[in-house]
Amino acid sequence: MTVLTLISHPLCPFVQRAAIVLLEKGVAFDRIDIDLSAKPDWFLALSPTGKVPVLKVPQPNAADAILFESVVICEYINETQGGAPIYPVDALLRAQHRAWIEFATQTFADGWQFLHARDASTADARRTAFRERLRKLESAIGEGPFFAGAAFGMVDAVYAPLFRYFGIIDATVAHRIFDDLPRISNWRTALEARASVRDAVVEDYADLFLAHLRQNHSQVMSPLPPV
């Protein structure tokens, strides 16, 4: 059996995307975690960007093929592994889903900057920017429970790691993000319950993430007073 190897970091949300798709497809894979603050030479020799995830794909009678960038890895897995496809068959719908995946790039950035804001004024500004992007996303979500309906898809795999953060931090802080966004709130709940999403992270992920926020003096670890 050809076993894929996912090179990872326990907290990386982009690794989680690849792990979710592998789990959705029922693919056996090995996972190797590295320390991103002291990247080993063998990893730097593999990854052109110096980032995770990296996927090693064994090749017959040749060196392993190397894939990098999370969405590229996810699409390769979708196209080469069994199980239900996680992109729409229709070309227009598929293109629309890819557009919302591209939209995730800045959405992640705004959410990450909010979570790592060190003072209330910065947190307020980053929350406003993040919520503006979420409002646009809210208008694109179908009837649920997932992004495009009953079937779990690539858009779900891409956004699930972002929403996971807000099930870990103080609930009053998360409420200020998702208040008046009922479709996203229901989507978050469905993603949280999905086995592939749950199993894409290590058992102590929540503790590790909270420790990370404390180490970075995040404002969200000291919840803002009610308004």
* Catalytically annotated residues: 12
**Beta-bridge mates of residue 66:** 56
**Residue 51 corresponds to which tokens in the numbers above?**
């980032």
Q: Exposed/middle/buried for 18, CB within 10 Å: 0-12, 13-18, 19+?
A: buried
Instruction: Give CA–CA dist 225/69, Å, rounded.
Output: 39
Phi, psi dihedrals of residue 52, rounded to the nearest 5°: -100, 155
Pairing of strands 4-8, 54-59: antiparallel
C-alpha–C-alpha distance, residues 174 and 168, integer Å: 9
116: CB partners within 8 A, 6+ apart? 213, 216, 218
DSSP state of 169: S
Task: Give the integer Cα–Cα distance in Å for 212 and 62.
Answer: 40
Give the DSSP H or E segment for 157: helix 154-165
Closest C-alpha among 46, 98, 37 to residue 72 = 98
Strand order in the sheet with 29-33: 29-33, 4-8, 54-59, 62-68
